[in-house]
Amino acid sequence: MESALDHQTARALLEWQFELGVTDAIGEAAVDRYELPDAAPWLQKKRPPARIAESLPLAERNEDPVRVAEAAARGAETLEGLRAALGAFELCELKKGARNLVFCDGVARARVMIIGEAPGRDEDREGRPFVGRAGQLLDRMLAAVNLSREASVYITNVLPWRPPQNRDPKPEEIAMMRPFLQRHVELAAPELIVLMGNISCQAVLGKRGITRLRGTWAEAYGRPVLPMWHPAYLLREPIAKRETWADLLSLQARLREPS
């Protein structure tokens, strides 16, 4: 039987109900809103069947990003393989807004590995870490203790993609990048690690508070780790350069110790 209402009348009645504050339609079957989720399957988010899920893009498969990252990182046998694995990782939203994957710079398997926080505008444009003003200051800092990215230092970041407006990385972004970072350290095989800034300390040591952490050696990934001020902070607070010089001397002294 055809409805006696034309679509204009039906729409007018529906808008009238909205104006009255109606938010739910009454169905033929009662819904117990206090029932436990496992007893109320209509309240659960349905997963697509296995065959359909396999054909969906990775970001739509309801997979745990950290577990996917762990599996991808474990499968990388070389640094180039790890770069490819990161390039194929689709569960980090930062990738969609970035120009380039910023993977590394410097000498692979150098004695010193520097881990920064995330790429900025210049790094995103060039696809290399620490190439802006902070990177130029970093180069001068390294040169002061006879180190350089061309000969004796390997550099990377916690995040390989630039966050919008250079905001701090979110905890979930750090969590999904942490397996790649750990595998990066294993493949680069440095003797010592320098952590630049709060975010790298959070990712590697599980701690924040660079003012308290800087200058004190710790251990992570089975290696000595030295937290330091980020060069970007030193550009804003030049007075902190004195403490940074002490940290650089501590790094230099550690490198001179017998292996």
What are the tens digits of pLDDT across the range 96-154?
Answer: 999 999 999 999 999 999 999 999 999 999 999 999 999 999 999 999 999 999 999 99
What proportion of the chain, given as a percentage, has pLDDT over 90?
74
Distances (CA, A) of 195 to 90, 159, 198: 26, 13, 8
100 phi, psi to nearest 5 deg: -135, 155
Give pLDDT, residue 54. 46
Residue 214: pLDDT band with limits 50, 70, 90: very high
Global pTM value: 0.77
**30 vs 209: which has the higher pLDDT:** 209
Give pLDDT, residue 20. 73
SS3 81: helix
Q: Enter the tokens of residue 77.
A: 């046998």
Neighbouring residues of 154: CB distance < 8 A, sequence distance ≥ 6: 104, 105, 106, 107, 108, 109, 110, 112, 113, 114, 188, 190
DSSP codes of every residue in 15-77: HHHHHHT------SS---TTS-GGG-GGGSPPPPPHHHHHHS-GGGS---HHHHHHHHHHT--
Residue 23 predicted with pLDDT over 70: no
Give pLDDT, residue 18. 67
SS3 219: strand
**Helix, strand, coil share (%) of the chain residues, nearest 5:** 50, 10, 40
**Over the chain, what is the mean pLDDT?**
88
Neighbouring residues of 9: CB distance < 8 A, sequence distance ≥ 6: none
Rank 31-35, 52-56, 62-66 by mean pLDDT and report only the highest.
62-66
Task: Please report, for the chain, the start and end positions of each structural domain, with discontinuous segments joined by +.
Answer: 60-256
Give pLDDT, residue 19. 72
Give pLDDT, residue 233. 97
Distance between CA atoms of 153 and 140, rounded to whole angstroms? Answer: 13
Distance between CA atoms of 211 and 202, rounded to whole angstroms? Answer: 13
Task: Determine the average pLDDT of the residues in 61-66.
Answer: 83
User: For 40-76, b where at least 16 C-beta lie within 10 A, e where not — what string?
Assistant: eeeeeeeeeeeeeeeeeeeeebeeebeebbbebbeeb
Give pLDDT, residue 56. 47
Of 56-65, 76-85, 145-154, 250-259, the range with the lowest mean pLDDT is: 56-65
- At the topology level of CATH, where does 60-256 sit? Uracil-DNA Glycosylase, subunit E (3.40.470)
Give pLDDT, residue 33. 60
Residue 61 predicted with pLDDT over 80: no
